[in-house]
Amino acid sequence: MRTSLREAVGRIAGPEAEGGEVMSRKAAGAAWAAALGIALAAGAPAGAWEIAREGQFDGTWTVSADTWSMEFGDDGGAVTIFRFTGPVLVRIPTGFAPSLDSECLGFTAPRTGGVGRCTLTDPEGDRIFCELSAAVDPGVLNVGGSIVAGTGKYRGMTGTLRFQAVPGPQRPGRGTSRQTMTIFGSWTLP
């Protein structure tokens, strides 16, 4: 049920103010501004958002990672398995898409790079599935990936994505880290 701006002001100001007899002009202006702010913040009713059949995106991906590493090889390198989670905020040509929750599992090794698999879930429960691969350079992971499938409104989605990440400490044992990465990519729906 949608509430008109006048009804919202009536609720804020009280029933005796609906006719404007008790409220001062300053108070009425403040009430209208508050009601307008509430109406704008509420936006469109919750429900499915529209996604174009193809497009490009950029955004930020903030992750918290749990890692488990062990020494591997005679050069002091370490192999690491990881799990990271966190919000993905994506900007598309028509504005910002709803925030996506991410969960990724993967593996990195000094000579072979890294691989990962991610599930991105929107507020309605529809998911996007991604495969990642990383080249390990000193101090940075250059990550590229493919969008390989989706559910719901993303069914049949394909695409690409890329970002850079800073690898966590390469010492044996369990570790945690947190970072924000800038991501870029494109998508196509059937």
Q: What's the CA gap between 158 and 18, in Å, rounded?
A: 54
| Delimiting residues of CATH 2.40.350.10 domain(s) in the chain | 54-188
pLDDT digits (tens, 9 = 90+) for 98-134: 999 999 999 988 778 899 999 999 999 999 999 999 9
Of 62, 55, 118, 64, which Cα lies nearest the Cα of 91?
A: 55
Residue 54 scores a pLDDT above 90: yes
Residue 19 scores a pLDDT above 60: no
- Give domain 54-188's CATH superfamily: SO1590-like (2.40.350.10)
- Torsions phi, psi of 117, nearest 5? -130, 135
Q: Which pLDDT score, from 0 to 100, does residue 113 have? A: 87
Q: What's the CA gap between 84 and 116, in Å, rounded?
A: 10
**Where are the strands (E) in the chain, listed by range?**
54-71, 78-92, 95-96, 100-109, 113-121, 127-137, 140-150, 158-165, 173-188
pLDDT digits (tens, 9 = 90+) for 120-177: 999 999 999 999 999 977 778 899 999 999 999 999 999 999 998 887 666 789 999 8
Cβ-Cβ contacts under 8 Å for 11 (sequence gap 6 or more): 3
Q: Which pLDDT score, from 0 to 100, does residue 73 have? A: 81
Q: Which pLDDT score, from 0 to 100, does residue 172 have? A: 86
pTM above 0.85, yes or no: no
